[in-house]
Structure 1
Amino acid sequence: MLHLLNYIVWNPDPVMFHLGGLTIRWYSMCWLVGLVLGYLMMHRLYKDQQIPDEKFDPLLLYIFVGILAGCRLGHCLFYEPGYFLTSWDHIIEMFLPIRHMADGSWKLTGYQGLASHGGVVGMIIAIWLYCRHTKLSMWVVLDNFGIVSGVGAMFIRLGNLMNSEIIGKVTDVPWAFIFERVDGYPRHPGQLYEAIAYGIILLISVAIYKHRGPKSVGTGFYFGFCLTTIFTFRFFIEYTKEIQEAFEAGLPFDMGQVLSVPLIAIGIWAMCRKPKKDKEKTESTK
């Protein structure tokens, strides 16, 4: 029999505070903090690599839209296609933060469901468009994102923890969390495992960059290191997490693991590729 008093009881209010009629949730704030910190770190890297500010200025808009769209579409298409692709109302819900209610009305709900794998795809597309606009080397931008991406991933998982979502399997480890808004069982705090891992990956990436210097950016190593380490950890941590959708119960691997494999392969390729001399990289630092 499980001794429930030995575990961490977790039931925070997902709402951080109210500002007039506006509700600020912990999850939204974690997204914002991760985005701002990543923005500041990227700005520091650009300055360190002597890339002009005018090339940096459009980056935030491209990345914000790309990651948000990728995360949202990734969730809808990978995890709930049976819902979102069955009617025009549900297709509208894919793109707008609203929900068609049973009484026929529309309710503002926010984006309920975001997938990190889709966010990576959205980010890469956004970087490609950004690089076409600024004429910067795509490998330089990808490497810089590889260095800082751990901060965003870490805060997103902390947001999941505050929401008591993406919970782990039942366990008797002494650090188990009882997510009261889910059930009364002690479970692996998978969100916390991931947040800690991504923070460590961030520190390692920054340490490697400081050791190797700005000239090491543009080879694809940092981008590959980010994908390989984050999604290899993600693959194995899925064994401690509950499935998110019922259809995953019949699969040998859950959807998070299936989607991690190609990203790990891309990461290994990026680290091992032999970079060519990049004329754009040279021009961008003048």
Structure 2
Amino acid sequence: MRFDSLGLSPVALDLGWLQIRWYSLAYLAGIIVGWWYLTRLLKEPGAPMARRHADDLIFWATIGIIVGGRLAYVFFYRPDILANPLEILRLWEGGMSFHGGVIGVSIGLIWMARSNGLDWLRIHDYVACCVPFGLFFGRLANFVNGELWGRPTDVAWAVIFPRAGPEPRHPSQLYEAGLEGIVLFSVLWFLFWRTDARYQPGKLVGTFLLGYGLSRVLVELVREPDAGLENLWWGLSMGQTLSVPMILGGIYLIATAKGRRRRVEPIAGTESVA
């Protein structure tokens, strides 16, 4: 199918003097829905923080997403922007790295946790369960923007993206929305609500890191590499390269999670959980 025939526009609302883009709304939706789900998780026994901490966490997480995501994109994907530093601030044009966002959010969460005497690893477990919302909305926004398309293909659901040339291509944005958003959320949902994973510090965030890393490595096989990064000498794309540390870190956290299990006293609620 032709992308143009779908009638999609990057702009959700055009007021003339102000344009509200789907990309911006995707970030807002991910943060708001993620915050709502986090408050739901915190109602369960043994929560690592109270509702008031969650409200502070959203602020630090948002700063981490924006600063970490943008800086990592510039350094890893578009170092040419450094020649004109003011372009770094042009967020409305797109250009964010999820890997950088993860680092930024982690720094913000550790700062918030230590400032309040909380267990930063258990907080990461809870936040990890909420991140797939943002990934899902963000990848849908990438598709609406007609960006980050896949490699040429002849599959029946291929899409011809105007800015990518005449060849039909994989809608890799939708693959990522499904794997990083729906599938990863479902796995974390099961572990949180149907197992005792939340009482093993690091297991949930480890599962997230492993799941995202594997998903990204697989999708990169059919996703068009970023310009200038098509043929890295070690055989991996930049997205795959940045995912390898996530996979290794996720495996380590999962493998060592049981050893960190201990009596969990509630920060919110009244029930202690052994």
TM-score (norm 2): 0.88
> Who is 1:18 aligned against?
14
Alignment of 1:100-139 (within 5 A): 110-139=92-121
Change (3 A) 1:53 1:186: same
Equivalent pair of 1:143/1:218 in contact (CA under 8 Å): no
Match of 1:257 among 213, 226, 240: 240
Amino acid at match of 1:36: I
In the alignment, is residue 239 of structure 1 matched against residue 235 of structure 2?
A: no
Find the residue that maps to 2:146 and give its secondary structure: coil
Matched with 2:190 is 207
Q: Which residue of 1 aligns with 2:40?
A: 44
Aligned equivalents of 1:234 and 1:247: distance in 2?
16
SS at match of 1:178: coil
State yes or no: 1:147 paired with 2:129: yes
Residue 92 of structure 1: aligned partner: 86
Distance in 1, matches of 2:57 and 2:200, equals 17
Question: Deviations 1:162-193 (Å, cap 9, x if unpaired)?
Answer: 11111101000001111124322210010000
CA distance in 2, matches of 1:212, 1:236: 27
CA distance in 2 between partners of 1:158 and 1:143 (Å): 25
Do the aligned partners of 1:169 and 1:241 also contact (CA within 8 Å) in 2? yes
In structure 2, the CA distance between the partners of 1:283 and 1:40, relative to structure 1 (3 Å rule), is closer
Change (3 A) 1:243 1:38: same
Give the Cα separation in 2 of the matches to 1:167 and 1:269.
Answer: 32
- Corresponding residue for residue 276 of structure 1: 260
Partner of 2:144: 162
Deviation at 1:237, TM superposition (A): 1.1
Counterpart residue number, 1:101: none
Amino acid at match of 1:91: P
- Which of 41, 58, 61 aligns to 2:59? It is 61
Give the equivalent residue in structure 1 for 2:209: 227
Structure 1 stretch displaced more, 19-28 or 126-135: 19-28
Q: Offset of 1:148 from its aligned partner?
A: 1.7
3-state secondary structure, aligned to 1:16: strand
User: Aligned partners of 2:202, 2:92: CA distance in 1, in Å?
Assistant: 35
Q: Which residue of 1 aligns with 2:2?
A: 9
SS at match of 2:166: coil
Q: CA deviation at 1:46?
A: 1.4
Alignment root-mean-square deviation, CA: 2.0
In 1: Cα distance, 2:108 partner to 2:188 partner: 22
Aligned to 1:180: 162
Give the drift of 1:76. Answer: 0.3
CA contact (8 A) 1:127 1:138 kept: yes
Moved more, 245-254 or 34-43: 245-254
Q: Which runs of 5+ in 1 are unaligned?
A: 1-7, 98-108
CA spacing shift, 1:132–1:124, aligned 2, 3 Å: same
How far off its partner does 1:222 sit? 0.6
The one-letter code sitting in structure 1 at the alignment partner of 2:137 is F
Higher strand share: 1
Q: State the SS of the aligned residue for 2:20.
A: strand
Q: Distance in 1 between matches of 2:20 and 2:110?
A: 32
Aligned length: 261
